[in-house]
């Protein structure tokens, strides 16, 4: 039964992703509610990409502090599960802080580094900038800044010829 449930969740996630990008009914509140409900069901079932995307949406566009807190929890679940976009978002949450997660530069660096090493270009750019300008509690280190910048450039080159960007970025 677990396999059937997992298949159902994967299919619902694909449907939600297709609805999100569908050109028809672009301004339909009904389509939007259905799409978000599908993402929510998938996230609640533990689907990593849904946790990342839906968590990002809740955190940045949620109407209540409870929505934003739930979004942050979902982002962190996806980040711990290895989702590179969620790892970048976790870095941003710790860099800027929020009601439930205090600003913690050392944790921001950890999450940005994980995401950058996994190929997230913006995370690598942030690490390069941090080493160039002594941000996030890091010292100025031009050698490390250049290493992160080179990693960011490689990530951008691979994205340019690769598939369409993910749902979250």
**pLDDT tens sequence for the chain (169 residues):** 344 468 888 898 898 888 877 776 667 778 778 888 999 999 999 999 999 999 999 998 888 889 899 999 999 999 999 999 999 999 999 999 888 899 999 999 999 999 999 999 999 999 999 999 999 999 999 999 999 999 999 988 887 544 334 444 4
- 136-154 burial: b if 16+ Cβ within 10 Å, else e: bebeeeeebbeebbebbee
pTM confidence score: 0.82
CB within 8 Å of 139: residues ≥ 6 apart? 131
User: Cα 11 vs. chain centroid, distance in angstroms?
Assistant: 21
* Cα-Cα end-to-end distance for the chain: 34
CB within 8 Å of 119: residues ≥ 6 apart? 84, 155, 158
H helix runs in the chain, sequence order: 2-21, 29-44, 48-61, 65-80, 84-96, 105-117, 121-133, 142-160
Architecture of the domain made up of 46-158: Alpha Horseshoe (1.25)
- Single out the residue of 126, 58, 45 nearest to residue 87, CA to CA: 126
């Amino acid at each position: 039964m677990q396999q059937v449930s997992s298949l159902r969740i994967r299919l619902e996630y694909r449907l939600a992703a297709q609805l999100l990008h569908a050109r028809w009914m672009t301004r339909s509140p009904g389509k939007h509610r259905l799409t978000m409900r599908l993402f929510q069901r998938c996230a609640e079932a533990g689907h990593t990409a849904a946790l990342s995307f839906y968590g990002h949406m809740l955190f940045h566009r949620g109407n209540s502090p409870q929505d934003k807190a739930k979004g942050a929890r979902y982002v962190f679940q996806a980040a711990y599960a290895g989702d590179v976009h969620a790892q970048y978002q976790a870095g941003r949450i710790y860099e800027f802080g929020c009601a439930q997660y205090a600003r913690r530069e050392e944790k921001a660096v950890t999450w940005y580094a994980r995401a950058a090493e996994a190929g997230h270009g913006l995370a690598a750019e942030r690490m390069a900038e941090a080493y160039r300008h002594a941000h996030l509690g890091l010292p100025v280190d031009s050698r490390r800044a250049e290493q992160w910048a080179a990693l960011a450039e490689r990530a951008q080159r691979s994205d340019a010829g690769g598939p369409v960007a993910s749902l979250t970025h």
